[in-house]
Structure 1
Amino acid sequence: MTIGDLLKEYRIEQGKYQKEFTNDGQIVSQSFYSKVEKNINRITADSLLELLHYNKISLWEFFSRLNQSDDFMHQQVESFHKIMVEAYYANDKAKVKQLKPLIKESYLSDKGKEEELLLVEAVLEVMKDPTEEPDLELRNKIKEKIFNIPSFNQTKMELFCNFMYFYDFESNKVIAQRIIKQHIATNDIKLQKPLLGIIVNMLALSFDAGKEKTETEFFIESAKKIKMHPELTFYKLALLFFTNLISYRKTGEPKYYQQSSDMADTMLLVGLTGYGKILHDLLVKYK
């Protein structure tokens, strides 16, 4: 049975038209949903979860009735990660916390649920205010998890990128340089994303360490080797912000400061309000 088949079955059992089932098209449009039931369109995992909650359908019951394929499990995990990333850049802690019951109700294995819940706690740890007490046990658990992965594959790169703030600057520099040297020649977008994310984080961390004038050249030059692609737009904008702010710190020329300010404004304009505000705070701090 497909997702579309099962959704249609539940909808008919509840005696609803497609318009009612999709909350008057607010979750997904009626025309799009119609094609989901016909197995023409593929619904995203977060829209699916919203549909199920809106229509009071048990997540466990729904997923248990589907074929237990690796592909669907992977889609679930990808959906959770997507929501986590979006909530992080929007600085929306409540949205991250809302993932906990969804993960617990998901059809992931017990080990899968445990790993996803650990990541949720780690993301909340990263989002803590500097004045809040760090959870050192949790941070060490994440670092151990990262380095239990034998090679710098995509998963390890993504984990390291997300939790670099758990390490000191010198440790980050050594690890980041190893990853860059291993993958800088790749044309795989899935690897280029975390690679650029690591470089952006290194530039950001260099300011906290007071090393933006001396320890950033390798990372800036490495980023230039990765060609622009639509999927890399966010990372390229973030790079422009930090490279211009570094140039301003080195030269004092106002044009670089203005270009960084423009990049921060762009983040706000495209809806990355949390991240945009962080960049504006940096501009104030390092002017």
Structure 2
Amino acid sequence: MTIGELLREYRISQGKKQKDFTNNGAIISQSYYSKVEKNSHRITAISLIELLHYNNIPLWNFFSRLNQSDDVQHQQMENLHNIMISAYYSHDYKKLNNIRQLINETNLSKENKEEEQLLVDGWIESLKKNPKLFDMDLRNKIKDKIFSNPSFDKNTITLYCNFMIFYDFDSNKIIAKNIIQQYKDSKNIKIQVAILAIICNILAIAIENENYSGISFFMDAADKIPTRPELFFYKNNLFFFENLIRYKDLKEKKYLINCKKSIETLINLNMEEYGRKINNFLMNHIN
């Protein structure tokens, strides 16, 4: 598939005319772009990347469809991310440090290896509880990476979700609200997963800070996303946090019972470790 053919496919899938896709010709003239789609003109790398960012098309997604070998690299990164997440939730510092060596052994590009190393460092940093041990340079580097793109795409949203702990609560509410407003009508499952995960984090942070100002916006946004099998884990977590908030406000036993039902669901689905983590969270916040 050529660049022109792939651009046309994305444009049509978004229901956009060439005028809309090119930001009214601000990125590239409509007449020139029309010839790019027909493969009679070439597009510069700068204009192509700007087009992709403007239309919220992930770069890796686009280029991997042009070059099949990139699919292998993307799968390697997915596998690494799964190992990182597993090690993080297990508080397994040794495994997280071992991932550094795994990254060096992959056939990823130098740039991708550096990005993966940054993720590992971020996961390790996020496990720190003592502010005296915080690496502020690293935290700021990750923040800069999150906001290096002109708009949030799936990868940026996921990165932000993983490292929300590096922001203060008010900043998180502003950033999360902007993301939700940008993707409120998205039917993309991965986007919906990321948004629900962000909302779960917002509610958890609100409980920890005992600051519930403005959280109704996030609870309403979560309710508007239909429950589907792929989203069940996040919907169950939302059920837990929402009921814990109501219990802390109203002190009605039914909400506490609902929290325990949510935990039982996790345990019954062989997520005992995560279930225990959520139960500890409950015990720490019901007094």
TM-score by length of 2: 0.72
Q: Deviations over 1:248-283 (max 9, x none)?
A: 011100110121122123323434344323321221
Give the whole-Å Cα distance in 1 for the aligned partners of 2:241 and 2:279. 12
User: In structure 2, what is the Cα distance between the partners aligned to 1:70 and 1:136?
Assistant: 33
Query: How big is the shift at 1:132?
Result: 6.5
Q: Give the match for residue 157 of structure 2.
A: 157
Q: Does 1:278 align with 2:277?
A: yes
1:156 positional shift: 0.9
Deviations 1:104-130 (A, max 9, x none): 100001111111011011011112234
Q: What's the % identity of the aligned pairs? A: 43
Rounded Cα–Cα distance in structure 1 between residues aligned with 2:188 and 2:220: 19
Rounded to whole Å, the distance in 2 between the matches of 1:68 and 1:109 is 15
One-letter amino acid of the counterpart of residue 220, structure 2: E
**Do 1:154 and 1:191's aligned partners in 2 also have CA atoms closer than 8 Å?**
yes
Aligned to 1:249: 248
1:178-217, aligned counterparts within 5 Å? 178-212=178-212, 214-217=213-216
Using the alignment, how far apart are the partners of 2:266 and 2:230 within structure 1? 15
Q: Structure 1 residues 203, 118: CA separation in 2 closer, same or farther (over 3 Å shift)?
A: same
Question: Offset at 1:159?
Answer: 0.7
Report the residue type matching 2:166 in the other structure: F
Report the residue type matching 1:122 in the other structure: G
CA–CA separation in structure 2 for the residues paired with 1:180 and 1:83: 28
Cα separation, 2, equivalents of 1:130 and 1:262: 33
Partner of 2:3: none
Over the residues paired in the alignment, what is the CA RMSD in angstroms? 1.8
Structure 2 segments unaligned to the other structure (5+ residues): 1-66
Pick 1 or 2: higher relative contact order, CA cutoff 8 A, min separation 6.
1
- Structure 2 Cα separation of the partners of residues 112 and 76 of structure 1: 11
- CA-to-aligned-CA distance 1:17-52 (integer Å, 9 cap, x gap): xxxxxxxxxxxxxxxxxxxxxxxxxxxxxxxxxxxx
What residue number does 1:262 align with?
A: 261
Count of aligned pairs between the two proteins: 220
TM-score (norm 1): 0.72
Aligned mates of 1:266, 1:92 — CA distance in 2: 25
1:227-252 deviation per Cα after TM superposition (whole angstroms, max 9, x unaligned):
11111121111101100101101110
Partners of 1:205 and 1:185 lie apart in 2 by 25
Alignment of 1:40-51 (within 5 A): none
Could you tell me which residue of structure 2 aligns to residue 30 of structure 1?
Answer: none
Match of 1:78 in 2: 78
